[in-house]
Amino acid sequence: MNWKPHPLFIIGLAATTMPIVAHAKIYVSMEQAQKILIPNKPLSKNPTIITDELQDKMHSASSVRQAFQGDRIWRATDGSWFIVDEVVGKHEMITYAVALSPSGAVTGIEILDYVESYGYEVAEAQWRNQFVGKTASDPIKLNQDIQNIGGATLSCKHLTDGVKRVAVLYEIALKNQSQAPKAK
């Protein structure tokens, strides 16, 4: 008796041995993003303790589940802010930077690292520019005041929620800090 494998078995075997291709890309470094988003202004590291209460408020405003890291916050001499955050795209983390004006309005966003296979269109300037001028008082919601990109829905949603989280962080924790930046 000769054994012949079922054709679906062969397809399944091939699928498990094929490499998964991801479009891992570093768009800009943190230093490059700082120069792009807050040009010609010295930045001082401004780590902020993120208490459980603050984390809960940021979560309820943005629905971002993973904890915010308060060690990647900088302040410029004019009172503007540069904040690096991470959100999950579909399966992998997206690292991005948000610049805020002294009044808490988004002045720009840069994608630093993107490792998902799909949805990399969120790095395009046209999509990112939708956030400029938004503050914590704006909805900052996908399909409400931020347009979706077909094929990148989860990346769009999670980045949108992340920007809302950063805006809320400013409103709750950074807004009331003294006008003088901390020393380097």
| Cα atoms in the 13 Å half-sphere on the side-chain side of 184 | 5
Calculated CA dihedral for residues 123, 124, 129, 135, nearest 10 degrees: -20
pLDDT tens column, 97-127:
999 999 999 999 999 999 988 888 999 999 9
**What residues does 28 pair with on adjacent strands?**
none
- pTM of the entire structure? 0.83
Q: How confident is the model at residue 90 (pLDDT cuts 50, 70, 90)?
A: confident
pLDDT given for residue 180 in this prediction: 47
Ranges of each domain in the chain: 24-174
